[in-house]
């Protein structure tokens, strides 16, 4: 009882947003919530510097080294000895209202990153700058520090590069996510115009697009999604701008293998998204690293623009291109693979707004499906006016049926008559009767079959007669979308390796789902 009362008191205390940094004055434990009984995230050491995000009574939410955030005791910092008025700021406007925001995804142990810096060493450290920026992108995508691998220098010979990709493939569990960042000099054998894309390893050997695709095919067959950034040139430029260098070379052995394959070839896996620094021409770097990596990081950190709703690959490409267009060199980004994939479930370009926003969000959710899964919906005729549907799939799962209204999302199943339960293939479900102003006949419905259950309460759905619906505002649409894309965010699912979980627990932590659009004919819609 004492523990419950203490937790309730801590939650009830007013919260202040705080800007600036603090010094840790004694060792403490970073916790997931402001309670001494909350889950441990990491240890913070004495004399380490942390960024202060929020103050709540005797607790402070901070971000420590490695982009880990959590709560520590206020008296473990020097916050109270700092000049008070200057360190406290007005609470920032909610990202649900106001300027575009791209918040960080919850860290998950099932997310992995491989950062490869193959560019030649320079006195001003471009390679280190690329690695730091790529690491920041990985953190924003929810990759924990322990799962970020960075290789550079002599470790990245042709054999070393092959081994690094093979090691990543070995680490990936079923339905894990992978992010790969490659900073390199693009390369093509001398005088061979028919040769396709490659980049240069540290022993001056070309790693061809054909070989890269072979690795990506193996990785994509097991992973949930794979995101790849290649910051390398694909052509020559006679006069780079002052202070810039072109990431392209023809300095290869005379007998270098020639491949006609290109990085953005057709037929890439549907769960792969590829961003390329150039479009058959030059890509540049300056003293801060590759221009493409710099531009993409700026967008990942919240400057995405040009779209409403979730920031998918095309939104990020357009945002980064806008940054590059303000620089000399006329560098053009290329997007390949599936442009609709969203690197982060919380990657919002701006508030969902307008009458079309609910439909666009359902389209975005549908685009994140695992299209390797089979899902068929067979409408059945009934004489009592209800709509019966037989679910045919290649695996069991939790079924959710959604419809977009002008300002909200409506959940038709589960409903008060049919609670959420794990369904076996071949199960028949019944939709509730519709009211007069929201007919289901000829209406477009999105069917989701998820591995794990979604929390309708956490998703912001409220019962409304025989159905449930979100609040008719941007916040309601955000909560529902993030819940369906993000899945279970409990500590076990966030901090446990997929391959270390049992089959049942791995399914509970999975974010994967099958999806299908269905339009009910008039004869099969409930009256």
Q: Which residues pair with 390 in a beta bridge?
A: 378, 428
The tokens describing 480, both together, are: 């529902």
- Considering only residues 370 and 500, tell me which one the structure prediction assigns the higher pLDDT: 370
pLDDT-derived band at 135, boundaries 50, 70, 90: very high
pLDDT at 392: 92
Residue 394 has pLDDT above 80, yes or no: yes
Percentage of residues in the chain with pLDDT exceeding 90? 36
Taken as a whole, the chain contains a residue count of 527
Q: How confident is the model at residue 349 (pLDDT cuts 50, 70, 90)?
A: confident
pLDDT, residue 307, reads 60
pLDDT class for 255, splitting at 50, 70, 90? confident
Mean pLDDT for all residues in the chain? 81
3.90.1200.10, 3.30.300.180, 3.40.50.2300, 3.40.50.1460: CATH of 111-288+330-338? 3.40.50.1460
Mean pLDDT of 489-499: 78
CB 306 within 8 A of CB 259: no
Please state the φ and ψ torsions of residue 413, each to the nearest 5 degrees: -150, 135
- Dist. CA 129–CA 231, nearest whole Å: 13
What residues contact 2, with CB distance under 8 A and at least 6 apart? none
Name which of 20, 14, 24, 15 is nearest 86 in CA terms.
Answer: 20
> Once rounded to an integer, what is the mean pLDDT over residues 332-360?
88
Tokens found for residue 20? 């600036």
**How many angstroms separate the CA atoms of 15 and 54, rounded?**
7
pLDDT score at 37: 72
Q: Average of pLDDT values for 334-342?
A: 95
Region 481-510 average pLDDT = 82
CA 206 to the chain's CA centroid: 31
Per-residue pLDDT at 226: 97
Given pLDDT bands bounded at 50, 70 and 90, which one contains residue 445?
very high
Q: Angle of helix 357-367 relative to helix 474-486, nearest 10 degrees?
A: 10
Half-sphere exposure of 46 (CA within 13 A, CB side): 3
The structural domains of the chain, with segments of one domain joined by +, span 14-87, 111-288+330-338, 352-524
Decide: 195 and 206 in contact? Cβ < 8 Å: no
Quick check: pTM over 0.85?
no
Question: Is 336's pLDDT higher than 60?
Answer: yes
What are 138-184's pLDDT values in tens digits? 988 988 888 899 999 889 999 999 999 999 999 998 889 999 999 99
Q: Compute the CA torsion angle 380, 381, 382, 387 (nearest 10 deg).
A: 60
Measured distance CA(370)–CA(223) in Å, rounded: 10
Q: What is the pLDDT of residue 74?
A: 87
Average pLDDT on 347-357 reads: 83
What confidence score (pLDDT) does residue 522 get? Answer: 59
CB burial class (10 A; 0-12, 13-18, 19+) of residue 124?
exposed
C-alpha–C-alpha distance, residues 202 and 164, integer Å: 14
| CA–CA dist 370, 374 (Å, integer) | 9
The Cα 260–Cα 262 span in angstroms is: 7
The residues, ordered by sequence, that sit 6+ positions from 185 with a Cβ below 8 Å of its Cβ are: 118, 119, 120, 199, 200, 232, 233, 247, 248, 249
On whether the 14-87 domain is CATH 3.40.50.720, my answer is no
Give the pair of three-digit tokens for residue 179: 């992010």
Confidence class of residue 304 from pLDDT cuts 50, 70 and 90?
low
Name every residue whose Cβ is closer than 8 Å to that of residue 425 and which is 6 or more positions away in sequence.
391, 392, 393, 394, 395, 396
pLDDT at 125: 47
């Amino acid at each position: 009882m004492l523990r419950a009362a203490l937790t309730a008191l801590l939650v009830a205390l007013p919260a202040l947003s705080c800007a600036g940094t603090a010094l840790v004055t004694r060792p403490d434990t970073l916790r997931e919530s402001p309670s001494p009984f909350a889950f441990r995230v990491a240890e913070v050491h004495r004399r380490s510097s942390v960024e202060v995000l929020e103050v709540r009574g005797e607790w402070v939410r901070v971000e420590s080294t490695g982009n880990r955030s959590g709560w520590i005791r206020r008296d473990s910092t020097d916050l109270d000895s700092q000049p008070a008025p200057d360190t406290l700021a007005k609470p920032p406007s909610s990202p649900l209202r106001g300027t575009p925001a791209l918040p960080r995804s919850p860290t998950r142990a099932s997310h992995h990153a491989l950062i490869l810096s193959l560019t030649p060493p320079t006195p001003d450290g471009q390679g280190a700058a690329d690695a730091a920026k790529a690491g920041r992108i990985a953190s924003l995508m929810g990759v924990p520090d322990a799962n970020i691998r960075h290789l550079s220098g002599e470790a990245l010979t042709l054999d070393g590069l092959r081994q690094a990709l093979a090691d990543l493939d070995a680490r990936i569990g079923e339905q894990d996510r992978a992010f790969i960042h490659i900073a390199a000099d693009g390369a093509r054998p001398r005088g061979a115009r028919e040769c396709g894309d490659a980049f240069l390893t540290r022993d001056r050997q070309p790693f061809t697009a054909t070989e890269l695709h072979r690795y990506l095919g193996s990785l994509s067959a097991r992973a949930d999604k794979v995101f790849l950034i290649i910051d390398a040139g694909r052509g020559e430029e006679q006069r780079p701008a002052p202070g810039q260098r072109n990431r392209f070379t023809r300095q290869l052995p005379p007998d270098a293998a020639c491949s006609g394959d290109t990085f953005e070839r057709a037929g890439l896996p549907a769960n792969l998204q590829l961003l390329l620094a150039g479009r058959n021409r030059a890509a540049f770097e300056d003293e801060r690293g590759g221009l493409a990596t710099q531009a993409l990081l700026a967008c990942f950190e919240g400057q995405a623009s040009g779209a409403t709703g979730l920031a998918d690959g095309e939104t990020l490409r357009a945002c980064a291109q806008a940054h590059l267009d303000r620089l000399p060199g006329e560098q053009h980004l290329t997007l390949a693979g599936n442009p609709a994939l969203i690197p982060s479930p919380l990657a919002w370009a701006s508030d969902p707004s307008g009458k079309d926003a609910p439909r666009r969000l359902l389209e975005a959710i549908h685009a994140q499906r695992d299209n390797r899964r089979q899902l068929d919906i067979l409408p059945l005729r009934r004489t009592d006016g209800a709509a019966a549907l037989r679910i045919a799939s290649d695996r069991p799962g939790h079924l959710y049926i959604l419809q977009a209204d002008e300002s909200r999302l409506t959940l038709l199943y589960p409903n008060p008559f049919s609670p959420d339960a794990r369904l076996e293939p071949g199960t028949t479900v019944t939709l509730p009767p519709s009211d007069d102003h929201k007919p289901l006949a000829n209406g477009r419905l999105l069917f989701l079959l998820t591995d794990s259950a979604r929390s309708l309460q956490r998703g912001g759905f409220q019962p409304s007669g025989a159905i449930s619906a979100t609040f008719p505002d941007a916040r309601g649409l955000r909560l529902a979308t993030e819940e369906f894309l993000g899945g279970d965010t409990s500590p076990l699912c966030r901090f446990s390796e997929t391959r270390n979980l049992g089959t049942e627990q791995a399914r509970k932590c999975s974010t994967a789902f099958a999806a299908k659009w269905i339009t009910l004919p008039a004869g099969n819609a409930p009256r």
